[in-house]
Structure 1
Amino acid sequence: MTTYMDDTEPLLRVSDLRITLARHGQYVDVVRDLSLEVAAGEMLAVVGESGAGKSVTARAVLGLLPTGMRASGSVRLDGRELAGVSQRVHRELRGRRMGFVPQDALSVLNPVYPIGDQLALAVRSVQRLSRQAAHERVVAALDRVGIPDAARRARAYPHEFSGGMRQRAVIAMATVNDPALVIADEPTTALDPTVQAQILGMLDGLREQSGMAVVLVTHDLAVAATHADRVLVMYAGRHVESGPIGKVLADPLAPYTAGLLASMPPREATGRRLRAIPGSPTVPGAHSPGCGFAPRCPAVADACLKDVPMPREINPGHLASCHRLGELPQRTTELYNEVLA
């Protein structure tokens, strides 16, 4: 495995992760040979188009893969190997050391119980606290995520909260036991830009207060640029590029990363149509012998069609998986300025 940070043990280390899906009696690869690391207090953004394997990677770390999927490789949290442990162990860790914020808050919140009761259950499932002590912890958690009049709103039901308030409640549930790691899977989906900014700013604040690490799954490079310390770009279940967010966005090395950047909406209206990477994302499991991005790549060469590129460190901490590294323009976005003009 290539070390993405330094030689100290990170909070989370995933090595050579492979996730397979049962389909028509066979197992096909959804994620292949993926490695990542996250340090305490750090936010890692995992970005890529739909189908890149971002969410299933997050769920493999949490031990929440859907039926029909299985994972192999190594997942270490606090130096402890989680690959192959029982669901009981995963449940204990999800309550104490790991928190999960899904895309849809209503998939987590039970509509027939008050918000506060649901958070109290999350507290008392891992801590021996009285009802009163658990209630006080719940109110403090709701207050910490910016829910006004938290003691009163703890008695409300999910349908009495707005979408943004429900998402805050889910973040409160994920962090109520002060986990070391929170995995947030598209936590601002379907929220308006103002509420999105508030939710992401709140996650930043929680990181600063508690030192927790965050893995942020997102398709939005602008979100990653604003909030993440490092970024991992995925395509077709594989590593494409990773490194400090400033380095990757200022000097993308892989054509796919450059394509994502070229497709970002401008900050100000220009009147031109939005750009898009030509072609469609690779269907999970439909992998070619070579680079999965080759059919859409403006810099494709013969080697790209034959062999899978592996991550190479180009600058300290900055890795890219591309056969043509060193041959491309220093700023690979130049490729797309021609193709998408």
Structure 2
Amino acid sequence: MKVLVTGGAGYIGRYAVKALLKRQHDVVVLDNLSTGSEEALIEGVPFYKGDIRNFKILNELFDRENIDVVLHFAAKLVVPESIEKPLDYYDNNVTGTNSLLKAMKLASVNKIVFSSTAAVYGLLDKKSISEEDITTPINPYGETKLVSEKMIQWCHSAYGLEYVIFRYFNVAGGNKVGFSPVNQTVLIPRILCAAKGLIDELLIFGNDYPTGDGTCIRDFVHVEDLVLAHILAAEKMFENNIQSGIFNLGSEKGFSVLKTFETAKKVTNVSIPYKIVERRQGDPINSVASSKKAQNILGWTPRYNDLEEIIKDAWKYYIV
């Protein structure tokens, strides 16, 4: 099949391109390089430098390329930034997805795998979150992803668009080619930045939560496992062997922030500087996925199922 990867020069998109090529699929990349990097592009893969909000370039791409399935990763995704700049997030994430869906409809491309987020669940405090649980996002990032999900679902009802929506929990591991790890806001890269001395210390936001050690509980999924789920979904869609739906992607294992920190200390053999500070607004206490739906329907089996292994894989790219 021929797959368009939007955001294909980004962290997850690059891994998706590599995995698709390994499985002998044809790939086209669209990226505006606002956060992606030319270093992440793979030689021989057609690349269109452009924005998903640019209807003209989308039409040109779909006219030239016989696309079967779209993997849509292109988005803004930093929660604190979304709170500071909500209009930017609505413009990029919602308007961009709307533009992409319009161009797909015009080109009669009717299969999409959409990159969403566990942030759509908001402050839902459960030991295990399923796809049927209530969605009440508490920041513009989560809200724009949920709006995009609903837009895709309405297009399914109106035009027969086939879709798979993946709600990620915490993506970790791998090599972020062309990216500055200092600019990362998620937990494991921040811990490793502190271990490497790229930042002064790790900030742990609150240690008075009703958990075993007082810190929040998180679920980590390796980027290669995440990408595998996307490809399995795209292949099943291409073969008309799956019904449209929403799937969580996580390890189904919860680790506290302090446990993650202690595991990183063990892996790196570094006394990592840290400081406990006040709780951060909008942090759920427990955020752990039920991924049984993806396992049962897609046949998805994560290869990385151990926190120490995930951190080891990430750390090796910090010590070169």
TM over 0.5: no
The alignment's TM-score, normalised by the length of structure 2, stands at 0.32
Larger Cα-atom Rg:
1
Indicate the structure with greater helix content.
Answer: 2
